[in-house]
Amino acid sequence: MIMNVQLHGLKMDLNKKGYGMYKTEQELAGIRKLKKELTEELWYLEILERGGGNWKRM
């Protein structure tokens, strides 16, 4: 069974084991960029949870 998944405009086909199959370097670059953005968001949220409200988001 193969499913199509779309996240933030990026398409990915998932096979039944859940592994992604990317077809182009452009798609991989988009995934890397999205991963970086999500990592930065998580870092920012962790600071807020710890009471670091004085930090400014860049």
Model pLDDT for residues 3-54, shown as the tens digit of each residue: 455 555 555 555 555 455 656 788 888 888 999 999 988 988 888 888 875 6
Check if the beta carbon of residue 29 is closer than 8 Å to that of residue 21: no
- Distance, in Å, from the CA atom of 55 to the CA atom of 30, rounded to the nearest integer, reads 28
Name the pTM for this structure: 0.46
Check if the beta carbon of residue 34 is closer than 8 Å to that of residue 8: yes
**DSSP element (H, E) containing 11:** strand 10-14
